Structure 1
C-alpha cells in the first residue's frame, strides 16, 4: 500500500512583520506632538529670526554691515538643529547628564581666568577667545544649573520638608558655581543664576519658610556685591537720579539714548533700517539695547509683537509645568522659564529705565552667539519635556452602553 506524503508547509513570510514594525517606527517619528511643543518651538524660531533681522539693522551703519549678522547666523544654524535634536532625547538622558554637564560647564567657565584665553573687557572677565571665536561660558551655566538643581531636588522629593536636605548640596554647589561668575565681575549673569535657583526651588514645592531663606540670602549677596563696586554704585545712583540730563555725558548717556530711541519710533516706527540711534549714538545697540532699536524702527507695534512672543513662550512652558507628573520636568522647566522670561523682562526694564544697566542680553534677539545657542538648547529641553506630556486619546471608539439583562420568562 503506497503512503502519501504531506507536502511541507512553506514558512510564513516575515516581510509583513518587518513592514508592520517599519510602519510603527514611522508612526512614532511622525506622531502628533502636543500643542505646547508647537507653541514653544514656533516662538523660539520666530524670536530667533526676528533677532537676526534686528541685529542686521542695528549693525548696518558700520563698515562691514554683514559681518556681525553672519556670525550670529552661524550660531543660529548650529543652534536650531541642536534644539530639535535635544527635543528627541528622553528625560532619562537629562537626568543622567545633570552632574557631568554642570561640572563640564564650570570648568569651561574657569577658562576666563586663564591668561591668553580669557578676554578682559569693560572691567569684566567673562569672555574667552578660542580659534577666533569669542564666547561667554557663563551662558552654558544657566542651563546646566537648572538641570542639576532639578535632578537634586527630584532625588530628594520626599525629604524637601527638611531644610537641611534642601540646602545641602544645593546651596553650597550653587554658591560655588555663581562665585566663578562673580569672580569675573559679571553681576548681571550672577543675578540670572540666582533667579534660576529660586525659580527651581519655587516649583519644587518646598515650604514657604524654607524658600524665603535662600531668597533673603540671595538679596543680601547681590546687595553686597553692588555696594562693594564703585562702578556699580555709580550706575545705580545715576539710575536713581531724577535729573539725568545733568549727567548727560556720564552714566546717563546710554539710558537716555535708549529712551529717546523708543520715544522716536512712536506707534508705527521710523521703518526697518531707519534708526538714527544706531549711528554711534546708542552704545551696545545690537547687544543689550536691541529692544530700543526695535522700538525706534518698528514702533510700539514691534515692541508689542516681541512682548507677545515671549508671553506665548511663557504660556507653552507653564503648560508643561502644569501638566507634567514628573517632578524633575516641573522643576527644570520652571528654572528655564524663569531664566528666559525673567531675563527678557530685566533687559526690557533696563531699556525702559526701570532698572539700572545690568549688561543682560535679550534672549534669542541680542547679538551674542553663546547666548543664542544656550537659549535654543534650553528650548530643546523644554520641547523634550513637552513630548512626555500625557496625550488625550480622541480616536478611541465610543463605548457601548451596557445592556440590561432581560429576566427570563417564568
Structure 2
C-alpha cells in the first residue's frame, strides 16, 4: 500500500533587505511630503518673507555707516544672515517635533533659559544703553532674555494645561504660576530692561487669557502688572524723563536730548511719502537716526519704501496672526491653544509696540521688531517660536485627517502596484 504524501508547499519568498529598505524609504518619504494645513503654509511663508525683508533692510540701514566703523558694508548683514541660516532649518526641525516633546520640554526650558539669563550678571555680561541684558561669548553677543520669552510661554501653557479642571479657583491659577513667572521676569528687571520685562508679562497674560480663566481671576494679574510698570517707571529718573518727553507736545524744545531719536524716526517716515525715496536712499541712516537697524528699522522701511512698504510689513504680520489664531481656534488640545496664544501675543504684540514707538504712539521702550530688527538672538528666538506654531498646526484635526488619508491612499497605491506586479510574474 503506497502512502501519499501531501504536496510540499514552498514558503513565500521573504523580501530582500534592499526591498525592505526601499519600502521603508517610501513610507518615510510619504509621511514627510504629506499634505500640510493652510495654517502651516501661512505661518511659514510669512515668517520667511519677514526674515528676508529684514535682511534686506538691515543691509540698507547698516551699509551707510560701515566705513566709519571700519567694517565692510555687508559685515552686519552677514552676521544676521548666519543666524537666519541657522534659525530657518531649526524652525522646520521644530515643526516636526510632537506635542509631547514640547510638554516635556516646558520645565527644563524655563530652568535653562533663566540660568542663561543670569549670565548677564557674570563677567560675561555687559551693559548697553543702561540695560545689563547682554553677554559676549567667543566674540558673539547674545541677549538671553529673548529665549526666556519662548521658554516662559511653553512653561505657563504646560502649568495651566495640567490644571485645566482647577482653573476656577484662584489659588490654583496663581500657584506656582505667579511666583515662578515673577522670578523669571525679575531676572530681566534686575538688568533694568523694562521693555523686555513688559513683553514677558504680555506672554503670561496672553496664556491666562487663552486658558479660559474667569474674568475676575484674569483682571487681578492685569492690575498687578500695570501697577508694577507704573511704579518702576516713576522710581526711575531715566524712564520718567523719557515718558515726560513723550508727553511733551512741543518735542522740538528737547531736540538734543530725549526727543532726538523719536523726532528723526517720525521725520524718516514722513519723508518717505507714499512710494518712498527708493531702497538704499535713506538719509536718516547716515548717523542721524540712532538704532536705525535695531528698534527704529520700521522708520527706515517707511523712508525708503514709503507707505506701501510699511503696509506690506503690516500685512505680513497680519497674515502671520491670522494663521496663528486659526491654530488657536481649531485645536482640540488646551496646551496647544494656550501656548499658541502666548506666542502669538508675544510676536504680534511686540511688533505693534515697536511700530507704535516709531509712530510716537508709545514712549521709547527698546524692543526690537520681530524677524526684521538687527539682532541674531532675537531672530533665532522668533524663528524657533514660529517652528513651535508650525508643530501645533500639524496637529489640527483636519490636518491629521488629511495626512492620514494621504498615507492610506499611498498604501493603497503601493498595494495595487504590488498586486499587478505579482500577476505579471505568474
Name segments (4+ residues, structure 1) moved above 6 Å. none
Corresponding residue number in structure 2 for 1:94: 102
**1:107 maps to which of 107, 115, 120:** 115
In 1, Cα distance between the equivalents of 2:196 and 2:190?
12
> Is residue 2:60 matched to residue 1:52?
no
Q: Aligned equivalents of 1:177 and 1:371: distance in 2? A: 18
Distance in 2 separating the partners of 1:199 and 1:369 = 25
Which residue, out of 247, 252, 256, partners 1:245? 252
Secondary structure of 1:260's match?
helix
Alignment map for 1:354-393 (pairs within 5 Å): 354-391=361-398
Partner of 1:291: 298
Give the equivalent residue in structure 2 for 1:25: 28
Per-residue Cα deviation, 1:245-295 (whole angstroms, up to 9, x for no partner):
111111000000000000000000000000000000000000000000000
| C-alpha separation in 1, matches of 2:121 and 2:47 | 33
Gaps of at least 5 residues in structure 1 are: 397-410
Indicate the residue corresponding to 1:405 in structure 2: none
Q: CA RMSD in A?
A: 1.6
1:212 to 2:219 alignment: yes
Q: 1:73 aligns with which of 69, 81, 88?
A: 81
- Deviation by residue 1:70-129 (Cα, 9 ceiling, x = unmatched): 1100100100000000000000000000000000000000000002x0012211100000
Q: Structure 2 CA distance, aligned partners of 1:223 and 1:256?
A: 25
Task: Please name the residue that 1:125 is paired with.
Answer: 132
Name stretches of at least 5 consecutive residues in structure 2 with no aligned partner.
407-426
TM-score, normalised on structure 1? 0.94
Using the TM superposition, give the Cα deviation of residue 8 of structure 1 relative to its aligned residue in structure 2, in angstroms.
3.8
SS at match of 1:119: strand
Residue matched to 2:141: 134
Tell me the CA shift for residue 21 of structure 1: 4.7
TM-score (norm 2): 0.90
State whether structure 2 residue 46 is matched by structure 1 residue 43.
yes
Instruction: Name the one with the larger helix percent.
Output: 2
1:320 and 1:258 map into 2 onto residues whose CA distance is 35
Count of residues in correspondence between the two structures: 396
Whole-Å separation in 1 of the counterparts to 2:376 and 2:339: 23
Residue pairs, 1:260-409, within 5 angstroms: 260-391=267-398
Report the alpha carbon displacement of residue 7 of structure 1 after superposing the two structures with TM: 3.3
User: Which residue does the alignment assign to 2:243?
Assistant: 236
In the other structure, the counterpart of 2:10 is 9
Q: Shift of the alpha carbon at 1:26?
A: 2.2
Per-residue deviation, 1:60? 1.0
The partner residue of 1:143 within 150, 171, 176 is 150
What secondary structure does 2:63 align onto? coil
Cα deviation, residue 391, structure 1: 1.8
Q: Distance in 2 between matches of 1:382 and 1:268?
A: 34
1:340 and 1:127 map into 2 onto residues whose CA distance is 21
Q: Kindly state the Cα deviation for residue 296 of structure 1 after the two structures are TM-superposed.
A: 0.2
For residues 158-177 of structure 1, what are the structure 2 equivalents within 5 Å?
158-177=165-184
Pairwise CA distance, 1:29: 1.2
Q: CA deviation at 1:24?
A: 3.0
The Cα of 1:32 is off from its aligned counterpart by 0.2
CA drift of 1:3 comes to: 4.7
Aligned partners of 1:296 and 1:121: how far apart in 2?
27
Query: CA offsets per residue over residues 101-160 of structure 1, 9 Å max, x none?
Result: 000000000000002x00122111000000000000000000000000000000000000
